Homo-oligomer: A and B are copies of this chain.
Amino acid sequence: MIETPYLLFLGDAPDQLAAKVAIGIRDWRPENAVGQYRMDGCKTDLGLTDMTLTEAREAGAKTLVIGVANRGGVISQEWKKVLVMALEEGFDLASGLHNLLRDEPDLVAVAEATGRKLHDVRVPEVEFPIANGIKRKGKRCLAVGTDCSVGKMYTAMAMDAEMRRRGMTSTFRATGQTGILITGDGVPLDAVVADFMAGSVEWLTPDNDDDHWDLIEGQGSLFHVSYSGVTMALIHGGQPDALILSHEPTRTHMRGLPTYQLPSLETLRDTALALGRVANPDCQVVGISVNTQHMSEDEASAYLAKVEAEMGLPATDPFRFGSGKLVDALAAM
Contacts and interface: CB of A to CB of B under 8 A. Distances in A.
Contacts of A193: 190-194
Range of interface residues on A (Cβ < 8 Å)? 35 or more
Contacts of A131: 225-226
Contacts of A230: 194-195, 229
A194 B195 contact: no
Nearest to A237: B225
Interface string A222-253: 11011111111100110000000000000000
Given A132-B257, A133-B259, A227 B195 contact: yes
Contacts of A228: 198, 232-233, 236, 275, 278
A274 interface: yes
Contacts of A132: 226, 256-257
Interface in A34-82: none
Given A191-B193, A193-B192, A229 B260 contact: no
Interface string A198-226: 11000000000000000000000011011
A283 interface: no
Which of A134, A228, A275 is packed against the most chain B CB atoms within 10 Å? A228
A31 B51 CA distance: 71
Given A229-B229, A257-B132, A195 B199 contact: no
Contacts of A135: 259
A226 to B, nearest CB: 4
A161 interface: no
A64 to B, nearest CB: 27
B194 A233 contact: yes
A279 interface: yes
Nearest to A267: B274
Interface-central residue, A134, A194, A230, A278, by most chain B CB under 10 Å: A194
Interface in A278-294: 278-279
A330 interface: no
A144 interface: no
A36 B54 CA distance: 69
Given A133-B257, A228-B236, 12 more contacts: A133-B226, A134-B259, A190-B194, A191-B194, A192-B194, A194-B230, A198-B226, A198-B227, A199-B226, A225-B278, A226-B236, A228-B233
Interface of A: 130-135, 189-195, 197-199, 222-223, 225-233, 236-237, 254, 256-257, 259-260, 263, 271, 274-275, 278-279
